[in-house]
Structure 1
């Protein structure tokens, strides 16, 4: 597949956009896909959002890459992936789909709307598209480092080989863009954007998400530029998510093609087990979320994690029935695609307070983050088995410690981000946390031959192989700028 960032055909864009037709959470976007006309913005918006979620929660990208790198899961048969031997097909699909489908759709919305008479509805729809683009660009910058940004989609200028922008500069542009969209969204309260599959077009909810994404970006750069992070977080935290009612997620349905992309409603998924890394720690603290995160093993109906990266060729490895698959809800056809949730915001604020920012008490935000996560999963699964007493006992086992904030907040934020593999991986490498008290939480793959360029955990994904030949000059400049196109090359904000 060529690397050139080209416009997809109208037919393919329409197909992507209408894949969610029939979802009761969306506006009615039925139309005639046989007409060779340019796709309308509402179809492009729904298509971009669903295409992004489908990729972020695919077994190929989330499962074989991100859930391994976050060490939430361990592989059953394809154990090379859990030893960081990146599948280039999966890597290529991630890059190409985010640029060619998702970001291209969103950029097309902005261009189309800019040629029409200005209305509040178009202003909000354009703002939603731009906030959505910021969400995606941050994922790309956190996964790869320097990425094409300012020169992408300049097709009128004949630019088919875009340069790579410095990732720190991308962050600055994202913050500026989000700030501008907040002004538009807050200035158009009550206006609804057509085609939005996340919040059904609510300008107020998208403004809250934009504030919350500002926090995500700022805390990730806190070790590299603490002063700027402090300024942003203190300015935006009061307008960010304040309850689980604000969560940004795409609701999937138990009907094709609108099912959660990695579900076992039609077949068993034997590819992954819950890692012993996560399982053992959650068991040690009596975490009430564990029966939701994992299901009992087939052999003895017990919750058992598999040591990370245990090769299937190892004769000492027990049979697959010995270990626990991910939980029933995690593989449900109606599992939501999470963009960002309230628990993450509270853990961001807990860390911000621990760093001395003026956002309230770290311990309070930390406790709020845990409670928000537990409550989210309890309500999502209609679980009556999680009682207030259980939550109180759990909180007593994982108390906040100011002297050990990086490990304490890091472990609980990591657990709250499950099954958001990419966000869990980004936070693992950024905070470089251990168990509270300082004992190691994560382990290197326990057997088999590892990728020597990332012997413990990758800090980034390597660029596409095709970039080296088809966009060679830009690739060479980017690889040199980041310190080498290796999995072990740290991102600009990785200081620990």
Structure 2
């Protein structure tokens, strides 16, 4: 009996000790319980690129609203009836939260703080928030990413978000201009180069400032004239996520490596214009129809489906490559920004708007693999710069240069509304009509997602009233056309 009592007491003590130390005993001391900032940074870069080049968000929304592609298996998106509103939640809960966790990690471990990694993470945040405010207008910004303490953040006005992004980018440039010796680990976009991140940040400042140039011309001018002093100067400095066909999990999000893709055809808008100017990018942007060897685009917004792709041209081989680049911003875009800035009378160097326009077109050709100088020179003779119609000349060529960057091209279409250089209409309304009764030509924004309207109803409703109504017809604050 005495032995039995001792056994029971011993067992009780052991059980009690085990319970008190359960967490310690089940934690591997060789493994961190937190994700390190360098892993969060690389993960955020990939997750953001994956979303931007997603089949739906790029293909169904961006590429169709830019009139590069038109659906063949279903056509409602090209007629402005969108069925996936996950871009918002994907960005907030995905890459933005990863980037915020970098700051949270350093808050918990101040002795480990790496200001260079923090600066890069803030540049990436600015890039993503700019996309979100352009697509939705008013968005959560100052109270965003604080779900543990602010589960229902207020929406900041789009104009205020723009101002805050420009301030943040300049702050990060100041940090990275004197980076010291702390390495930017985990970065795959710029391979840890502080100098390249300064160039990227200034390129983003130029993009943001030019988008507001018609609404706030003085402010835009000052920012562009400052940013142009240290930004990209060649295609070799393009900023992109480097996808790799050799690794299944690291392939471009929408690729035809394992199966032929038949969901999209290039539009007649794109094919007809490329043919009209003998553009050498035609066989790169599109491929000839397999049945007749001709380039045949689908009329934008037509209801009829052609899921077998008979008689229609698919997007080009490079567009569907598993190693396609997930562009963040390119030198070609920077060169077009400089050309437009010069045309608007801004001080961006000694080159004229015409010279910068030629440089921009040449950069786009180089980016897409057209490197024969004679071919490029001949092409430039056929699409000359004309100062009196710079918006059409620059706008049309910038539209071509932004191929595959669907959302950015859609925003530039809204901002510039370019016509062909001769003044003829470039973009057409959906041939079979819009499925949104409030929009006939092109949506100006996307509606707030159902997830936000459900989980943050009061602030979503207030934001809808602030912008003039949660419809696809509501313009962004910078859209003055």
Question: In structure 2, do the counterparts of structure 1 residues 466 and 189 end up closer, same or farther at CA, with 3 Å as the change threshold?
Answer: same
Q: Which deviates more, 199-208 or 443-452? A: 443-452
Equivalent residue of 1:428, what SS?
A: helix
Which of 277, 284, 288 pairs up with 1:296? 288
Query: Alpha-carbon deviation of 1:115?
Result: 4.1
Aligned pairs for 1:207-356 (under 5 A) are: 207-254=198-245, 255-312=247-304, 320-356=309-345
Q: CA deviation at 1:311?
A: 1.2
**C-alpha displacement of 1:348:** 0.5
The number of residues matched between the two structures is: 450
Distance 2:267 2:396 in 1: 15
Q: TM-score, normalised by structure 1?
A: 0.88
Distance 1:432 1:266 in 2: 38
Contact residue 96 and residue 145 of structure 2 kept, 8 A: no
Q: Structure 1 residue 124: deviation in Å?
A: 0.7
Offset, 1:451: 1.4
* SS of residue paired to 2:435: coil
Cα distance change on mapping 1:293 and 1:482 into 2, 3 Å: same
Residues 2-17 of structure 1: pairs in structure 2 closer than 5 A: none
Unaligned 5+ segments in structure 2 are: 1-27
Q: Which residue of 1 aligns with 2:4?
A: none
> Any residues of structure 2 matched to 1:63-74 within 5 Å, and which?
63-74=59-70
TM-score relative to the length of structure 2: 0.90
2: CA distance between counterparts of 1:319 and 1:468? 38
Pick from 171, 174, 188 the counterpart of residue 197 of structure 1. 188
Matches within 5 A, 1:23-38: 37-38=33-34
Cα distance between partner residues in 2 of 1:165 and 1:471: 14
Partner SS, residue 257 of structure 1: helix
**Residues 296 and 324 of structure 1 are in contact (CA less than 8 Å); yes or no, is this contact kept in structure 2?**
yes
Equivalent residues of 1:296, 1:325 under 8 A apart: yes
Aligned match of 1:102 in 81, 95, 98? 95
TM-superposed CA distance for 1:114, in Å, is 3.8
**Match of residue 153, structure 1, among 130, 145, 149:** 145
Structure 1 residue 477 corresponds to structure 2 residue 466: no
The 1:244/1:118 distance shift into structure 2, 3 A limit, reads farther
* Change in CA separation of 1:183 and 1:451 when aligned onto 2, cut-off 3 Å: same
Q: Using the alignment, how far apart are the partners of 1:310 and 1:319 within structure 2?
A: 16
The residue aligned with 1:188 is 179
Cα distance in 1 between the residues matched to 2:204 and 2:191: 19
Asked if structure 2 preserves the Cα contact closer than 8 Å seen for 1:190 and 1:202, the reply is no
- Contact kept, 8 Å, 1:106 with 1:129, in 2: the verdict is yes
Superposed CA RMSD in Å reads: 1.8
Contact 1:191 / 1:203 at 8 angstroms: preserved in 2? Answer: no
Q: CA deviation at 1:192?
A: 2.8
Question: Comparing 458-467 with 256-265, which one deviates more in the overlay?
Answer: 458-467
Match of residue 43 from structure 1: 39
Radius of gyration: which is bigger? 2
* Distance change in 2, residues 1:319/1:252 (3 Å): closer
Is 1:406 aligned with 2:399? no
CA distance in 1, matches of 2:455, 2:119: 33
1:191/1:202 contact within 8 Å kept = no
Contact 2:243-2:323 at 8 Å conserved across structures: yes
Aligned to 1:277, what secondary structure does the other structure show?
helix
Kindly state the Cα deviation for residue 191 of structure 1 after the two structures are TM-superposed. Answer: 4.8
Match of 1:359 in 2: 348
In structure 2, C-alpha distance between the alignment counterparts of 1:482 and 1:389, rounded to whole Å: 50
